């Protein structure tokens, strides 16, 4: 009975997502046009405001691509995979999330290996993964803390780690953390890490989430080069 209820939820969610994608397109187009209009007058704004406008445009592009991916979900092929630099993807994710990091005065510390190989991925989807993971780390962290993001090569794999100083994960939650609809956040959907898992599985990427000592979590990902 539980499985049937879960399947029904997924079917309803699928129909809702398909409907929402059409409804989101028009206001998203208006939002992007207004941001591009503001960008034309960038000389009137300070550097921080221009960075916010640029980050918002990148976020709008991600939303637009996610809409496209949702509409094309049934295709599920690897035609849209291309060689990408993981460091560039991480950089874009930081630009998108630095606004919420700045609000909590959280410092993002980068240690990126410039010599890592390119990886063949869907860039938008992997960007979505890193935006989600970094955002989770920021939400879980106290003000004035740090998040460490590393990239490196290991045994022929291209690897990344996102390490936060947050509250960590309860032991009883580890088996459920990637399940659809599971969340311990107030107002959360329980889809964030589930979507990350789906994307990484499609890329045949290995990933792990573990608690640190004395606090925080590490999300590690390994891509085949």
Q: Which fold would CATH assign to domain 82-224?
A: Heat Shock Protein 90 (3.30.565)
Asked if 98 and 138 touch (Cβ cutoff 8 Å), the reply is no
Question: What helix, strand, coil percent values describe the chain, rounded to 5?
Answer: 50, 20, 30
Q: What is the DSSP string of 40-62?
A: HTGGGS-HHHHHHHHHHHHHHHH
DSSP 208: E
Please state the pTM of the whole predicted model: 0.68
Q: CA geometry: angle at 46 spanning 44 and 47, to 5°?
A: 125
Q: Which residues, 6+ apart, have CB-to-CB distance to 52 below 8 Å?
A: 99
140-169: per-residue pLDDT in tens? 899 999 999 999 999 999 999 999 998 887
Q: Which residues, in sequence order, are bridge partners of residue 206?
A: 222
DSSP 172: G
Asked if 53 and 38 touch (Cβ cutoff 8 Å), the reply is yes
Lowest mean pLDDT among 4-8, 28-32, 64-68, 121-125: 4-8
- The pLDDT, as a whole number, for residue 19 is 60
3-state secondary structure of 158: strand
Lowest mean pLDDT among 73-87, 109-123, 201-215: 73-87
Angle of helix 47-71 versus helix 2-40 axis, rounded to 10: 140
- The pLDDT, as a whole number, for residue 206 is 93
What is the distance of C-alpha 87 from the center of its chain?
A: 14
- The pLDDT, as a whole number, for residue 181 is 42
Asked if 58 and 44 touch (Cβ cutoff 8 Å), the reply is no
* Structure-model confidence comparison of residues 4 and 53, the more confident one: 53
Domain boundaries, the chain: 2-71, 82-224
- The pLDDT, as a whole number, for residue 188 is 37
The owner of tokens 């510390």 is: 109
């Amino acid at each position: 009975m539980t499985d049937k209820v879960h399947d029904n939820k997924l079917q309803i969610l699928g129909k809702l997502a398909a409907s929402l994608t059409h409804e989101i397109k028009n206001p998203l187009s208006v939002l992007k046009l207004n941001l591009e209009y503001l960008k034309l007058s960038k000389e009137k704004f300070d550097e921080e405001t221009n960075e916010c406008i640029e980050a918002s445009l990148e976020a709008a592009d991600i939303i637009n691509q996610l809409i496209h991916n949702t509409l094309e979900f049934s295709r599920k092929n690897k035609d849209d995979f291309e060689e990408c630099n993981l460091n560039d993807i991480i950089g874009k994710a930081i630009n998108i999330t630095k606004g919420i990091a700045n609000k909590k005065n959280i410092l993002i510390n980068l240690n990126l290996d410039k010599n890592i190989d390119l990886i063949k991925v869907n860039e938008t989807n992997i960007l979505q993964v890193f935006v989600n993971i970094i955002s989770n780390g920021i939400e879980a962290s106290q003000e004035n803390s740090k998040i460490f993001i590393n990239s490196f090569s290991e045994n022929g794999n291209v690897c990344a780690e996102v390490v936060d100083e947050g509250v960590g994960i309860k032991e009883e939650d580890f088996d459920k953390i990637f399940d659809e609809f599971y969340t311990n956040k107030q107002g959360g959907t329980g889809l964030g890490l589930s979507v990350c898992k789906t994307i990484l599985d499609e890329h045949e990427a290995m990933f792990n989430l573990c608690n640190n000592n004395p606090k925080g979590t590490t999300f590690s990902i390994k891509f085949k080069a």
